[in-house]
Structure formats: structure tokens, C-alpha cells
Amino acid sequence: MGILGVVMTKTILFISPTGTMDNGAEISIFNLMKFLVSKGFRVLNVFPDYRVPVQKTYLEQMKKAEIQAFGIPAVKWWWEEAPGGLPGTHNQRLESYRDNIKRIREILNQNKVDLVISNTANVFQGALAAAEENIRHFWLIHEFPEGEFGYYREKLNFINEFSDEIFAVTGALTQNLQRLLPERTIYSFAPFSDITIDEVSSNVDESRGIVCIGRLTERKNQLELIKAYRKINSEVLKLIFIGDWDTDYKEKCDQYISKYNLQNIEFRGHSSTPWAEVGKNKIAVFPSRMETFGLVYIESILNGIPTILSNNLGHLSSYHWMGEVGYLYDLGNLDNLSDMIQHILINFENECKESLAKVSLLKERYTLEHTYDQVLEMINSESIVKDKNLDEYSNMIKGKITFKLLFRDFIKSILTLKKI
């Protein structure tokens, strides 16, 4: 309540990990931002401005949703040790981090921000800026601290220190982080994708086939699906991949396809409306080695498409959340996967009817109010901002010795910045 009992509009600043809509973390948080706008919140978004064409579309989507977006040029936006390599020199990255934090602090002050929300474990500048301005900070974590994201296990003390609340994807990830941070409560959320069955087009190729949506990467493990497809040995069944790709992994897939002279495999690249390309007579298969939730699985079953997914921990979380709809196969077991595909093809009419019959119930279960209920509750709370130990966080930055020493000087320079 403000003066004379007038309800004051709360302003929330989100920290975007990529500034693109080609990943589940961005898509789900964009839906949360839109929802908050519809409820009367003022929503701002900061993203790394890499001056790439796809970000023009991103900005247009933000503007349409009445979200004020701020692009900040960055040498590297994520932690030093995070995926993405080491562009520029140490000094250039440090200067960029310093400029980013200063700019975020300016935005916080100019817009009288009440809450900062960092989206993914990979972004940290918002946490530091919020601490400097004594503003509440939430951290939404989408990644398991292993594999390519294993680096952030050493950042957990920092994340713990600089978060008023921590939220993780429901299921295995929440349980994992709760074990690693037993002294505090890890709240949970389920990533939300706003999709309807109407998005699946009836004006595309209606031949039977398999579709896999998502970026072509080692982690997404599409080569396993290609190998299972080879075992099926069908001359008419199509295998369609929709999504951008990592060049090295695409080459590995191409080499396998060429070696065994496989036909009817298509790589269609990125699509902003992938389900419009699927058609009604397809099976969806998602063979990822690791996911934290499996957003594309949710999209598939909400569209009433017979769906198979690997039994990685994140897929298990989404599978149980959605009432165990679809089929699980044992990751790495090609016979299991190829047999499951053939089983659905043999019983295709019944499988489609059963999948479509479940859509209404699934939509009732999968609402934004339900998936983000704990986040929304905490946003609406009036908790006191916890004290953050700014003097200690330079010791929490792990990595190369040269970077650690440079970062220590950087921390001192941040601490000596005058209040903006």
C-alpha cells in the first residue's frame, strides 16, 4: 500500500540469459513476464545485445507484450567458466562485466525497481547490481550442476549469498539443489510454454513420420534417434529435425547418415513456429542425454502427438508432473527406442486418439498459475531484503588464477563505485 491506501505498482526487472527465443529458459520466463504484465506489474528485461538479427524479433516480442527491454553490449554475459568460450581478453571481459553491472544499477535506480530476477544459473550481474542497491533478488535455476553446467557447483555459495529466494525446476533439480544447500528452502517452478493444439497445422505433409524439435547438439543426442531410425529400416518413414544446430554435431550426424546411405532424413533448421510444420501424422521423439524439465515434451503432448522421450532426470520430472503421458525409453538403448517407435506406428490410429483425448485434462493441469505458483507467491510477498556479504564474494569466483586475481581488483572497483 502506498500513501492514502493506494496500491503501488511493483516493478520487476528480469535478467535474460540470451536475448533470443530459441531456448526453454527464455520462452518460459517470457510467458511469466507477460502474465505479470497482465496482472498489473511493471516488467522490465535486460538482455545481452550481440547485435544479431534474431534479437530484432526478440525486441519486437517484448514490445508487443508491453515489456520494456534494455539491450546491453557484452563481451561475455555469462560466468567466465560457463559455456560459450572466452571471447576477447581477460581485461576486455572484466571491463564488460563492470560496465554491465553499472548499467543495470542505473536501470534499477532510474526505474525504481522493487525486485530483480536472474533467469538461469549462468547470469550473475543482476545479483551484484541488486545487492549494491539493496533490492530483493530471486534466482531461477534451470540447469543441473553437472556436464557443461557443472562449473556452477562452485558458484553455489555465491548464489546462496546473493539470493533472497532461490527457485529451481521442479523435481530432480530442486531435490539436487536442496541437498547441496540444506540450510535454506529451495522453491520450485515448472517452465511454462504457451501453446495450443491449434498451432499444429493440417496443411502440411500428412505422411507418417518422426519429428524431433530442438537444437541439434551433443546434449540433445539426436544421433541416437538417427541410429534407432536406421534399425527400423523403413523406405517411406520420414525423420524430420526442426531447430538450429551446432556445426560439429551436425557434421557428425551427416557423416553417419552418409556412411549408411540413410534416406528421408530432413534438417529444416530454426522455425519460430515449429509445431506448424509438424502435421497430424507424426510421432515426436526426444532423446536428450540431459534436460532439467523437457519443455518441448510438454508442447508435444499438449498438441495431442504420440510422444517418446528418454528417461533422463529432467524428462522424468516433466513426465511425472504431466501425469505420465507418453512413453519413456531407456537412454542409450537403441532396441528399446526403435521397438517403441514401431509399436506406436502399428497402433497409430489408437495412439493418436488416446493422445488427443488427454489434451483437455493436460491443459487444466498445465497453467502458468500452477507452474509458477511459488514464484508468484514470493513476488507478492513483502519480505525484507537480506544482507549480502559483498566483501566476501570475490573469494567465491572460481576459475583460472589470472582471472581470479583480475576479478579481485574488479570487485574492489565495484565496491568503491559511488551510489548512482
Confidence band of 4 (pLDDT split at 50, 70, 90): very low
Most confident of 50-54, 248-252, 278-282: 248-252
Q: What pLDDT digit, counting tens, does each position of 336-345 carry?
A: 999 999 999 9
Residue 416 has pLDDT above 50, yes or no: no
Residue 102 has pLDDT above 90, yes or no: yes
So what's the pLDDT on residue 295?
84
Mean pLDDT, residues 63-78: 96
Q: What pLDDT digit, counting tens, does each position of 206-224 carry?
A: 678 999 999 999 999 999 9
Residue 418 and residue 415: Cα distance in Å, rounded? Answer: 8
178, 171 in Cβ contact below 8 A? no
Residue 249 and residue 241: Cα distance in Å, rounded? Answer: 13
Higher-confidence position of 33 and 392: 33
Residue 209 and residue 294: Cα distance in Å, rounded? Answer: 21
Q: 127-131, 190-194, 397-401: which range is least confident on average?
A: 397-401
Residue 219 and residue 214: Cα distance in Å, rounded? Answer: 11
Beta bridge partners, 387, equal none
The C-alpha cell at 39 is 496482472
What's the chain's average pLDDT? 87
Which residue ranges form the domains of the chain, and what is each CATH number? 3-192+370-415 (3.40.50.2000), 197-365 (3.40.50.2000)
The percent of residues in the chain predicted with pLDDT above 70, rounded, is 88
Q: 34-43, 125-134, 198-207, 295-304: which range is least confident on average?
A: 198-207
DSSP run (H or E) holding 119: strand 115-119
So what's the pLDDT on residue 275?
85
Q: What pLDDT digit, counting tens, does each position of 159-197 carry?
A: 999 999 999 999 999 999 999 999 999 999 998 887 655
Residue 412 has pLDDT above 70, yes or no: no
So what's the pLDDT on residue 203?
54
Confidence band of 7 (pLDDT split at 50, 70, 90): very low
Q: What pLDDT digit, counting tens, does each position of 256-311 carry?
A: 999 999 999 999 998 878 888 887 789 999 999 988 888 899 989 999 999 999 99
The percent of residues in the chain predicted with pLDDT above 90, rounded, is 69
So what's the pLDDT on residue 202?
53
The C-alpha cell at 334 is 537403441
Residue 14 has pLDDT above 80, yes or no: yes
Residue 420 has pLDDT above 90, yes or no: no
Residue 42 and residue 168: Cα distance in Å, rounded? Answer: 24
Residue 346 has pLDDT above 50, yes or no: yes
So what's the pLDDT on residue 233?
86
**Do strands 186-189 and 165-169 pair parallel, antiparallel, or not at all (unpaired)?**
parallel
Higher-confidence position of 179 and 147: 179
Mean pLDDT, residues 405-409: 47
Residue 247 has pLDDT above 90, yes or no: yes
Mean pLDDT, residues 30-43: 95
So what's the pLDDT on residue 411?
53
Residue 396 has pLDDT above 60, yes or no: no
Residue 257 makes CB contacts below 8 A (sequence gap 6+) with 226, 265
Burial class (CB in 10 A: 0-12, 13-18, 19+), 87: exposed
pTM of the complete model: 0.80
